[in-house]
Amino acid sequence: MSAQNGPGSQRPQPPQVQGPPNPNVPPAHGQVPQQGQVPQPNQPQQNHDRFRPRPQGSQQPNPQQAGQGPQQPPMQGQPQMQPVPGRLMPQQAQPIPGQPMPGQPVMYAPPPAQVRVYAQPRFAPTVTQEMRIRAGMQAPQQVVTDTPWTGAVRKAQPKTQPDSTGNIVRLVAAILVLIGLVVGLALLALVGGLSFGVRLFALIGLSAIPLLGIIAYVLWLDRWRPQPKLLLGICLLWGAVAAVILTLAFSIAGEIALALAGFRGVPSLIGTVIQAPILEESTKTVLLLVIVLAARRYFEGPLDGLVYGSLIGAGFAFTENILYLGGAWNEGQVEGLMELFVVRCLCAPLLHTTFSTAAGVSIGLAARKWPWWSLILMWLPGLVLGMVLHGFWNGSMVLLSVIDQEITHNEIVSRTGMIILSIIYSAAWIALGLILRRSERMHTQNMLGDYANSGWLTHAEVDMLGTWKGRKNGRDWAKSFPGGKEEMKTMIRTSGKLATTRMRVLAGIGGEQERNIERAELKQFSDARDRLLAASKQTVSRQTVR
């Protein structure tokens, strides 16, 4: 035996799946047939389990259990027997790579490659594991684990967020809805121009005074975890355009239906106290249901519902104020205009905002952790509450007007009652916004605590990102580094997203897709933190060198 063929220099050969041996021609036990010799049938038969096909990477049978002596792999260049069905095996048979020969030391095959299950495509023949075993292939002498070029390609690929396709579809749909609402707004402006002429600009300016105040307060409430500006704009335009048009259309359709049925129409009191609240609140708040079903990620809690519902109500009140102020201007000139402006825009500016908020908050409570069908059910109690508040307001104003006409013969009772009731409604809406804003901050801190307990964040980071003061201090500290302020803004914005995602994962909403989103957001947060720390270290190093 030469040194080149010794066990220490022998390259291990991988196993090979062989065909079935010839059961009629077993070799002699412990012997290899010589050239020209035929094994005797009365000699003990050798165990042929090691010649049977086995799955790729499976272990060889234990020779001690089979009653044989220790087995050794074939030497390089040394022949090995390969049974052929129906024929005798000569000595110079082709060697089988990887199969040990008697009397040789055991050599180990290279470790098998990592097994990965690939999904089978539709409309294609099904491939079973038995088929793969039957068609086993020869393993290479050296298993390939990875190559540099694949890693380079992966790094060069653009990063895509999970559910990016769904976000694109929702974005396109939202843009189309926004375009439709803008077209509707232009048509309303055209009708208003024909009705009021140049005075329309003055009416818009007067009606915009309470609208701007409501928008400012709502955006302040939404600062903790801002919602997409596109959705906020759609809510505002929906209330100002679509809800008004739908209310008028349903009202006209109802009057036509009653006329065809032989009725003269709805009595004024019933129309004011019952019909108007039902139609207006339904057409306004139905958009909230569409948003939470189509884009639930952006409607995650009661504060989101308050923000969306308030903007819808503010938009509806804006258009309604233009119509009422224009009518008063045509009838009573400037005196009637200013009187109605004080009543509607200054004394009672938050009525429709309060009514629509009820449905938004009820939907938001369900959107945080309940299944989708509960969102539809939870729309109803908020809708009914808004209708009751609306109907109570209208009924109270009718009753106070009757008292003034019959008893006081002036408007002191109706004006006083209107101001008191308006203050109660407005104070409730403002207080609810403050309570929900604080609750949202505590909810974010609670959800981020899970990441701190698992090591993704530190508890000091949770304290910073979960309070207004901590966020402000973080921005002030980061702005002293190049690009640090933007990285801190990214961390703050991502922490709000993580709180929403964590709640959805805990509630079992979204499934595996939600976990993928969580991993992507955690990586985004970690990358921003690494860049911020790197910028701070570079700045400190430069200052030290100076």
Q: List, as one string, the DSSP characters of 251-310.
A: HHHHHHHHHHTT-----HHHIIIIIHHHHHHHHHHHHHHHHHHH-GGG--SHHHHHHHHH
Q: What is the pLDDT of residues 58-81, one digit of tens each?
A: 444 444 444 444 444 444 444 444
Q: Rounded to the nearest 5°, which phi and psi values hold at 50?
A: -75, -10
- 8 Å CB contact between 399 and 363: no
Count of CB atoms situated within 10 Å of the CB of 301: 22
- 8 Å CB contact between 532 and 474: no
Structure tokens at 495: 């922490």
The whole-angstrom separation of Cα 379 and Cα 356 is 11
Residue 101, Ramachandran bin (φ over 0: left; ψ between -120 and 50: alpha; else beta)? beta
Provide the whole-model pTM.
0.71
Residue in this structure with the two tokens 């189509």, named with its chain if needed: 294
pLDDT of residue 257: 87
pLDDT of residue 71: 47
pLDDT of residue 133: 79
Q: Which amino acid is at 80?
A: Q
pLDDT of residue 90: 44
Report helix angle 164-196 to 302-341, nearest 10.
10
Structure tokens at 240: 């100002």
* Residues β-bridged to residue 71: 102
Q: Which amino acid is at 286?
A: V
pLDDT of residue 46: 47
Coil, strand or helix: which one is 62?
coil
Coil, strand or helix: which one is 98?
coil
The whole-angstrom separation of Cα 300 and Cα 320 is 30
Q: What is the dihedral of CA 224, 230, 236, 240, to 10 degrees?
A: 180
Q: What is the pLDDT of residues 262-319, one digit of tens each?
A: 877 778 888 899 999 999 999 999 999 999 999 888 998 999 999 999 999 999 999 9
Q: What is the pLDDT along the chain (546 residues), one digit of tens a residue?
A: 444 444 444 444 444 444 444 444 444 444 444 444 444 444 444 444 444 444 444 444 444 444 444 444 444 444 444 444 444 444 444 454 445 555 555 554 555 556 667 677 766 677 787 887 777 766 677 666 655 665 554 555 445 667 667 778 888 888 999 999 999 999 988 988 888 888 899 999 999 999 999 999 999 999 998 999 999 999 999 999 999 999 999 999 988 888 888 877 778 888 899 999 999 999 999 999 999 999 888 998 999 999 999 999 999 999 999 999 988 887 767 788 888 899 899 999 999 999 999 999 999 999 988 888 899 999 999 999 999 999 999 999 999 988 888 887 777 888 899 999 999 999 999 999 999 999 999 999 999 999 999 889 889 999 899 899 999 999 998 888 888 889 999 999 999 999 999 998 998 888 888 899 999 999 999 999 999 888 888 877 776 766
The whole-angstrom separation of Cα 237 and Cα 254 is 25
Q: What is the pLDDT of residues 132-147, one digit of tens each?
A: 777 776 667 766 665 5
The whole-angstrom separation of Cα 247 and Cα 253 is 10
The whole-angstrom separation of Cα 72 and Cα 108 is 10
- 8 Å CB contact between 437 and 454: no
* Residues β-bridged to residue 45: 28
- 8 Å CB contact between 51 and 19: no
Q: Which amino acid is at 480?
A: S
Residue 300, Ramachandran bin (φ over 0: left; ψ between -120 and 50: alpha; else beta)? alpha
- 8 Å CB contact between 240 and 234: no
pLDDT of residue 179: 94
The whole-angstrom separation of Cα 213 and Cα 218 is 9
Cα distances from 396 to residues 169, 215, 267, 359, 407, in angstroms, run 46, 28, 17, 22, 16
Of 465, 412, 487, 428, the closest CA to residue 225 belongs to 465
The whole-angstrom separation of Cα 433 and Cα 426 is 11
Q: Which amino acid is at 380?
A: L
Q: Rounded to the nearest 5°, which phi and psi values hold at 330?
A: -70, -35
